[in-house]
Every structure is written in structure tokens, then in C-alpha cells.
Amino acid sequence: MSGHVVMPQGLPPPLAPYSPGMKAGNHLYTSGMLALDHAGQLVGGDDAAVQTRQVLENIRGIVEAAGGKMSDIVFNSIWLKTMDDYAKMNAIYAEYFPSNPPARACVRADLVKPQFLVEIASVAYID
């Protein structure tokens, strides 16, 4: 089975050679999304809550372009620049996954550029 690229309108341009989303059968995989707007500009500055919201909106765009919804996400990988932002990220994250939240992992890591505070990659199963 081969996959096909999911590249919704309004998504920021990739920072490197990758596809924002890849759908293979009923599975959708997103690349790690950052807090970038449609023009590739940082959203949220040093506010992890604002960055988290932008990241999840970017993921929503990919999931919906593939025919799914946020409740179809079954796993998220989350990277935080500092665990000091864990509570802020969780507050926004809970708004997007209010019931039956997906499985996830969350770790502290250096992100691709120092201004990024949150990165999330998702796996969805779209029936």
C-alpha cells in the first residue's frame, strides 16, 4: 500500500523536505507541526499556550483535508522546549480533546529553531 500526500490550503510551507501529512489506507500521519501561520510566520512568540493552539489548528487542517476530524486522532507525539510549559500546553490540548483523548507521549527536546516552544505530530485513523 502506498500513501498520498495531504497538503491543505493555508498550511505554512514546510521548513524542510517533508510532507505535512501522509495518508495510507485509513491511517493519517502528520509531520511535527509548529506554531506557524499560513505565511510561515511564528504565532505566539514566547507564549506556549498560543503556540499550542496554532500547532493544533495546523493539525486540524491536515486531518480535515484528509476527510477526518480531531476525534479520529489516536496518538500524539509532543515535544516541549521546556517542561515549564507543560501545564499551558495541557490546558489548550484538553480543549481539542475533551473526551476520549488519544494516547500520547510528551518529552522535553531542543526544537528545530529556538523560538519554537511546542511541536506535535499526530496519527489518526479515519474510517
Q: For 39-54, what is each residue's pLDDT tens digit?
A: 999 999 999 999 999 9
Closest residue by Cα to residue 102 from 79, 124, 126: 124
Closest residue by Cα to residue 106 from 41, 32, 44: 32
**pLDDT > 90 in the chain, percent:** 91
Look at 13-17, 32-36, 95-99, 114-118 and tell me which has the smallest mean pLDDT: 13-17
| pLDDT for 105 beyond 80 | yes
Instruction: List, by residue number, the catalytic residues.
Output: 106
| pLDDT for 101 beyond 90 | yes
CA 2 to chain centre: 23
pLDDT tens digits, 116-127? 999 999 999 999
Please name the fold of domain 4-125.
60s Ribosomal Protein L30; Chain: A; (3.30.1330)
Closest residue by Cα to residue 61 from 77, 80, 37, 44: 37
End-to-end CA separation in angstroms for the chain = 17
